[in-house]
Amino acid sequence: MEKMTNYDTVLSFLYQQLPMFQRIGATAYKADLVNTLALDQRLGHPHKQYKTIHVAGTNGKGSVSNLLASVLMEAGFKTGLYTSPHLRDFRERIRVNNQMIDQASVIDFVNNHLDFIESHSPSFFELTMGMAFDHFAKQQVDVAVIEVGLGGRLDSTNIITPDLCIITNIGKDHMALLGNTLEQIAGEKAGIIKPGIPVVIGEVLPETENVFRNKSRKMNAPLIFAQARYDVALATRSADFRQIMQVDGLQGSGFKDLVTPLMGFYQHKNTATVLTAIDELVQMGYPITKDHIYKGFNNILNNTSFMGRWQILGTNPLVICDTGHNEDGIRQVTAQLKATPYKKLHMVIGMVNDKDISSVINLLPTDAEYYFTKAAIARSLDEKELALLAQKAGLNGNTYPSVTKAIAAAKKNASVNDLIFIGGSTFVVAEAV
Domain assignments of the chain as residue spans, ordered by start: 7-230+262-304, 311-430
**Which of 390, 381, 396, 344 is closest to 363 using CA atoms?**
390
pLDDT digits (tens, 9 = 90+) for 73-94: 999 999 999 999 999 999 999 9
Q: How far, in Å, CA of 126 to CA of 109, rounded?
A: 13
Query: Do 134 and 116 touch, CB atoms closer than 8 A?
Result: no
**Phi, psi at 157, each rounded to 5°:** -70, -10
- Is residue 290 predicted with pLDDT exceeding 70? yes
Sheet of 230-237, strands arranged across: 230-237, 243-249, 255-260
274: which DSSP letter?
H
Query: Do 86 and 196 touch, CB atoms closer than 8 A?
Result: no
Q: How far, in Å, CA of 365 to CA of 15, rounded?
A: 35
Confidence of residue 29 (pLDDT cuts 50, 70, 90): very low
Tell me if 7-230+262-304 shares its fold with 311-430: no
- Is residue 23 predicted with pLDDT exceeding 60? no
- At residue 24, the pLDDT reads 41
Mean pLDDT in residue range 307-332 = 94
Indicate the Cα dihedral angle 363, 368, 370, 375, nearest 10°: -50
Mean pLDDT in residue range 208-235 = 96
Q: Residue 211's Cα: distance from chain center in Å?
A: 23
pLDDT digits (tens, 9 = 90+) for 139-163: 999 999 999 987 788 888 999 999 9
pTM for this entry:
0.93
- At residue 354, the pLDDT reads 73
Q: Which residues contact 256 (CB under 8 A, 6 or more apart)?
A: 246, 247
- Is residue 377 predicted with pLDDT exceeding 60? yes
- Is residue 9 predicted with pLDDT exceeding 50? yes
- Calculate helix-pair angle for 182-189, 209-219, nearest 10 degrees: 30
Query: Do 290 and 272 touch, CB atoms closer than 8 A?
Result: no
Q: How far, in Å, CA of 288 to CA of 15, rounded?
A: 39
Mean pLDDT in residue range 260-267 = 95
- Is residue 178 predicted with pLDDT exceeding 80? no
7-230+262-304 maps to which CATH number?
A: 3.40.1190.10
**Phi, psi at 53, each rounded to 5°:** -130, 130
- Is residue 28 predicted with pLDDT exceeding 50? no
Fold of 311-430: Protein-Tyrosine Phosphatase; Chain A (3.90.190)
In 3-state terms, the chain is what percent helix, strand and coil (to 5)?
A: 45, 20, 40
Alpha helices in 49-123 (DSSP H): 61-74, 103-112, 114-120
Query: Do 37 and 159 touch, CB atoms closer than 8 A?
Result: yes
